Structure 1
Amino acid sequence: MDPAGRARGQGATAGGLLLRAAAAAKGLREDLWGAAALPWRSLSRIPKREGLGEEDTAVAGHELLLPNERSFQNAAKSNNLDLMEKLFEKKVNINAVNNMNRTALHFAVGRNHLSAVDFLLKHKARVDVADKHGLTVIHLAAWSGSLEVMLMLVKAGADQRAKNQDGMNALHFATQSNHVHIVEYLIQDLHLKDLNQPDEKGRKPFLLAAERGHVEMIEKLTFLNLHTSEKDKGGNTALHLAAKHGHSPAVQVLLAQWQDINEMNELNISSLQIATRNGHASLVNFLLSENIDLRQKVEPKESPLHLAVINNHITVVNSLLSAQHDIDILNQKQQTPLHVAADRGNVELVETLLKAGCDLKAVDKVSAWTLLYSAEMVAKTFLLDVSLEQRYWNILCEMGTNWRNHASS
């Protein structure tokens, strides 16, 4: 049998192994970067509808509210002043807490019910109660964005510097929810610049604004001199956080003041790699237009091209190739992007990389077997473009011959 025939046979055998291995890997493979937890998970538990929320469901034998107290809280949720007044006349405890340690005032403030809030404050409702997550009514007012409610709570003596269990204060919540008028009130009227502190994740309000992509908030915090180039506990700057979520307008605003577009986080990951990994094509194109460095000074685990291939972002792959990204760059496993695409069984990406002129001989840095192992998957691209076949098999035969000579020596 001629060398090409032997190579084809070896490729076909290895191809079966590849398909089985790829199928197993598909079920086991995790996202390299993990899923980011919601930065305001406590607020996600605030009820959004009338009636009983999940947080109010009685835990067997542990419900704290009496029937009238439960009715009073429901009335506060729905801004039902008539019912609130009737229950108040019956001496209901307006400060009663449910199993989440929330009072009627929590619900009235969280839903911006001005009348209910006014009623409760006039009847001396407590403004300092924190729920099981450390949320106070001042946090909810900042989160919901009602300046009227905020003014009422401050007048009633609410703690303006209170923090929840995540180390977040009113400025964090207002920033995260993009309520510029609340930020202006806290900083310019109440002069609470000391609220500009990192939370438990090491994130100051400026980083939260960038993470959410709030351009107006980023500009306002910059104007108030509350911007920062500091990193959070994960080693990310505002630029990295904005890139992670594909916020192109926010990235553009940040780069107007940022000195180093190529800055790495603690994992030696750049904003380009973050955007590439998450498939944010428009942001990748913008960063490439800003002449971001494709040849980094440190060796990451995966190059931007590897990350785009791993996550099957074909548009991003094409953008990187158009920007002259090194098509034969090796990752820490000594694999080229072609190896990764072939091992994952991605015919479309294999075709793209072959057409872009990747150097098939580059696999000699690993072994001829790697190329032979991927041969079946790569060969599938010939069904789409037979013009690649001759170049591929010529090199494959050459590699196979060199490999056999090396093995016999």
Structure 2
Amino acid sequence: MRNPTVQHFPQRQPFDCGEDEIEGIGNYHLTDNDHDEAETIWDPLQLAASSGNLVEVNALLADGRNPNALPQGWYGKTALQVAALHGHLAVVQVLLASGAQVDAPGGNNGGRTALTLAAGATTVAHQVQSTIIDRLLHEGADVNHPPHPYMGRTPVQAAAEGGNLTILRCLVALGGDIRAPAAKTSGRTALQAAAEQQHIEFVVFLLQQGVVVTEDDMRVSQNKAGVTALQAAASVGNKKLVKTLVDAGANVNAKGSRFNGCSALGAAAGGDFVDIIWMLIDAGADLDQVEGNHGRTAMQVARVRGSMNAVRVLKDAAQRRAYMSSDIDHILTSSNA
């Protein structure tokens, strides 16, 4: 029997300045056959927990099934993790009472603890989500459990990504680290996650709590498929969010990720977001900045993506810059004559 309700992660990541399929990054390009191989048979208790079948969960536990059976497959989850993700409160309570390990690691790819999955859940009623998180915390769940190196999140990062501000505030109040570094591959800090999902209130909250945008950006260029908060905001064309981050001191020319990365200007150009392009140029964006393993400028990103409005605007900006530069040279030459 196969898992009928697999949900790998609560959120998908829209940001990607590259066009090529690179081995080892996400499952964005997996075929149906790849999924067949990836989703191996789950433990019966994990299946029952995933579907919220409390009767079957109780029967399996009474029959001696291990509540801590290891995750199966690339994106496998323990019974507690999958119950927490899907908001099956009664199942969570039974599993905890049966000795389920609250901070057990997840599968090989992007393994997340039960608390992290619950904090980032997007399809669970907020009251149920809060109750599950309270139960996990009561059982000693680590509010600062480090992220899995591949697509991992801390509980705070997951909450910033997920969209429940009450959960984020709660975790921060309990000592959750708002400055925790992102996972090495496809990771997101809390600020980056909030920006990518366009949670403006979350971004404002994190800034008010002391996140420094320039410090938050520092590790992005060293990671695979990383993104600064400003690059994420530019990639989705959110003017209010871009302005908020620029006003907070975001570096418009911060380096992009070494895999599929690009500048904030390149991100806006790829999405054909003309207003964002002008905002970034006015803030000092470098038209010639080259980023990522593709080594592309914003103009090249726009051409690859077929963003012809962006191409036109970037050409116009380059011509204006050249005109201003020649004008300044003329003035300097005249003054030295």
Q: State the TM-score, normalized to the length of structure 2.
A: 0.65
Number of equivalent positions: 278
Residue ranges of structure 1 left out of the alignment (5+ in a row): 1-28, 42-52, 58-98, 365-394, 396-409
Equivalent pair of 1:171/1:196 in contact (CA under 8 Å): no
- Percentage of pairs with the same residue: 24
Q: Which residue of 2 aligns with 1:280?
A: 238
Secondary structure of the residue aligned to 1:359 is: helix
Q: How does 1:183-332 map to 2 (within 5 A)?
A: 183-187=133-137, 189-193=138-142, 196-201=145-150, 203-234=153-184, 236-263=188-215, 264-268=217-221, 270-288=228-246, 290-293=247-250, 303-320=263-280, 324-326=282-284, 329-332=287-290
Q: How many angstroms does 1:257 deviate by?
A: 0.8
CA–CA separation in structure 1 for the residues paired with 2:79 and 2:286 = 56
CA–CA separation in structure 1 for the residues paired with 2:236 and 2:168 = 22
Secondary structure of the residue aligned to 1:308 is: helix
Q: How many angstroms does 1:291 deviate by?
A: 4.3
- After superposition, the C-alpha distances for 1:248-289 in whole angstroms (9 at most, x for unaligned) are 23222222213412331424564212321343344223324x
CA–CA separation in structure 2 for the residues paired with 1:336 and 1:130 = 45
CA separation of 1:191 and 1:319: change in aligned 2, threshold 3 A: same
Q: How does 1:38-49 map to 2 (within 5 A)?
A: none
Q: Higher helix fraction: Structure 1 or Structure 2?
A: 1
Question: Computing the radius of gyration over CA atoms, which structure comes out larger, 1 or 2?
Answer: 1
CA–CA separation in structure 2 for the residues paired with 1:342 and 1:281 = 22
Equivalent pair of 2:143/2:176 in contact (CA under 8 Å): no
Q: Which residue of 2 aligns with 1:132?
A: 72
Residue ranges of structure 2 left out of the alignment (5+ in a row): 1-16, 123-128, 222-226, 328-337
Equivalent pair of 2:214/2:251 in contact (CA under 8 Å): no
CA–CA separation in structure 1 for the residues paired with 2:21 and 2:242 = 18
For the pair 1:100 / 2:41, whether they are aligned, the reply is yes
CA–CA separation in structure 2 for the residues paired with 1:351 and 1:242 = 31
Specify the code of the residue in structure 1 equivalent to 2:43.
R
Specify the code of the residue in structure 2 equivalent to 1:304.
A
Q: How many angstroms does 1:145 deviate by?
A: 1.9
CA–CA separation in structure 2 for the residues paired with 1:165 and 1:345 = 38
- After superposition, the C-alpha distances for 1:32-57 in whole angstroms (9 at most, x for unaligned) are 99897379x9xxxxxxxxxxx969x9
CA–CA separation in structure 2 for the residues paired with 1:163 and 1:302 = 32
Specify the code of the residue in structure 2 equivalent to 1:226.
G
Aligned-residue RMSD, C-alpha: 4.3
Q: How many angstroms does 1:132 deviate by?
A: 1.9
Equivalent pair of 1:180/1:220 in contact (CA under 8 Å): no
Q: Which residue of 2 aligns with 1:172?
A: 116
Q: How many angstroms does 1:292 deviate by?
A: 3.0
Secondary structure of the residue aligned to 2:320 is: coil
CA–CA separation in structure 2 for the residues paired with 1:340 and 1:254 = 31
Specify the code of the residue in structure 1 equivalent to 2:321.
D
Q: How does 1:8-47 map to 2 (within 5 A)?
A: 30-31=18-19, 37=26
Equivalent pair of 1:210/1:239 in contact (CA under 8 Å): yes
Equivalent pair of 1:128/1:136 in contact (CA under 8 Å): yes
